[in-house]
Amino acid sequence: MTRLFGTDGVRGLANKALTAPLALRLGVAAAHVLTKENRTSKRRPMAIVGRDPRVSGEMLAAALSAGMASQGVDVLRVGVLPTPAVAFLTDDYGADMGVMISASHNPMPDNGIKFFAAGGHKLADEVEDEIEAAMAGLPEGGPTGHGIGRVLEEAHDAQERYLQHLSQAVARDLSGIRVVVDCANGAAHEVTPLAYGAAGAEVIAIHDQPNSYNINDGCGSTHIDQVQQAVIEHGADLGLAHDGDADRCLAVDAEGTVVDGDQIMAILAIAMKENGELRKNTLVATVMSNLGLKLAMEEAGITLRTTKVGDRYVLADLNSGGFALGGEQSGHIVLPDNGTTGDGTLTGLALMARMAETGKSLKELAAAMKVLPQVLINVPVSDKSAISSSSRVTEAIAAAEKELGDTGRVLLRPSGTEELYRVMVEAADAETARRVAGRLAAVVAEV
């Protein structure tokens, strides 16, 4: 049986794979699992619900809220805000659980449901399994009369609470820095330019006019060319690109050169080590990070730990080890002292703070890491499990690894959010990486 929860919550084509009835049942089941510890107290359980601007979010928010309220949970809807804002507000309001409705970087027709436990923490696999199991035996009814939960629309101070949190997390004056921010017509369209401006930066916002249908449409962190062009056009010091729910941040220097999540982590890790903030001199990344990050960290005297792909696994390692910085090449950067999940706006603030602190350009800071040629091919597949069990794929991987030797590496993995298999190859030169990755992708496509 296919697991309902993927790498980052429940995701699928809205109104097909992810329907309002499914969201209703998820709301009921999650209410039972995530508020059960509060059921013996006199205080009514509370949930925070936020969303990105895509049109299906309205429908799904209504269904989820109804499901939770039917089980006696008061629902506070905070409107359109980034995922990390919902995580923060779950803790700040003292809620028992939080829900973000977003498909992140996926196209508009998709949507997703991400749950947070009390404190704004992402759920462990076993808790997601418990919610999924609870859906098989949902009660027919629920409390009546005064026992039914309330659905309270739009918490009017939610955005201001989040902005205050960001200003306290990164307090350095950013005056003199001109930044272009691509908001992806998503959840960051209002709050992120406000946060950068409040810190003193001169902000040029692009793709900050969502209309419920244009989220991630040719813009944001998956279309970095837009912010590259805008940086050159406006003579900016840097550009920052977020995804639809703003838990990612990718950067562009003043010359339009991309600075990815690995390079951002290298910059922040070195800064935090110098300032005595990098606990245990350790950075946590995933197996997808460029080999150049490992080499840069070795040179800086910083230990690099790697986890499975997914910021939830980075978070688990950060929490268990007591570390202070982690993230993914895709731009999910986690600063546990200031947030319980990846926060693209916070990442942008921290990156600009390092520029202000050192007086160096982003290009100079990014030079601390040399990016080795890396090719990533996303191969559409109909059955991801068939790829992992294929002897042809196993033999092709072995041949590629033998060819690359110690000068590169190969990584194949299924996407946790889409019907894709990701083929990644690193090599000493770009041509070799392209050739080997293309050969492996062709094998995967034929299975």
Helix (H, G, I), strand (E, B) or coil at 11: strand
Please provide the size of the chain in residues: 447
Contact 296, 370 (CB under 8 A): yes
Alpha-carbon distance of 230 to 425, in angstroms, equals: 31
Q: Establish whether 237 is an annotated binding residue.
A: no
Between strands 74-80 and 46-51, the pairing is: parallel
Strand order in the sheet with 409-414: 374-380, 420-426, 409-414
Q: Establish whether 125 is an annotated binding residue.
A: no
CA distance to 20, 108, 128, 193, 380, per residue, from 17 (Å)? 10, 14, 18, 34, 18
The secondary structure of 269-323 as a DSSP string is HHHHHHTT-SGGGEEEEETTS-HHHHHHHHHHT-EEEEE-SSHHHHHHHHHHHT-
Q: Which among 70, 102, 104, 221 is annotated as catalytic? A: 104
Closest CA to 124 of 326, 312, 287: 312
Half-sphere exposure of residue 347, counting CA atoms within 13 Å on the CB side? 36
Amino acid at 270: I
Helix (H, G, I), strand (E, B) or coil at 258: strand
Q: Establish whether 389 is an annotated binding residue.
A: no
CA distance to 236, 247, 300, 354, 374, per residue, from 368 (Å)? 22, 24, 9, 13, 18
> What dihedral angle (degrees, nearest 10) is formed by the CA atoms of 234, 235, 239, 244?
10
Asked about 415 being catalytic, the answer comes back as no
Closest CA to 294 of 305, 280, 307: 305
Q: Establish whether 104 is an annotated binding residue.
A: yes
Distance of CA 360 to the CA centre of its chain: 28
Q: Which residues are annotated as a binding site?
A: 104, 243, 245, 247
Catalytic residue numbers? 104
Cite the annotated binding site for Mg(2+) by residue number: 104, 243, 245, 247
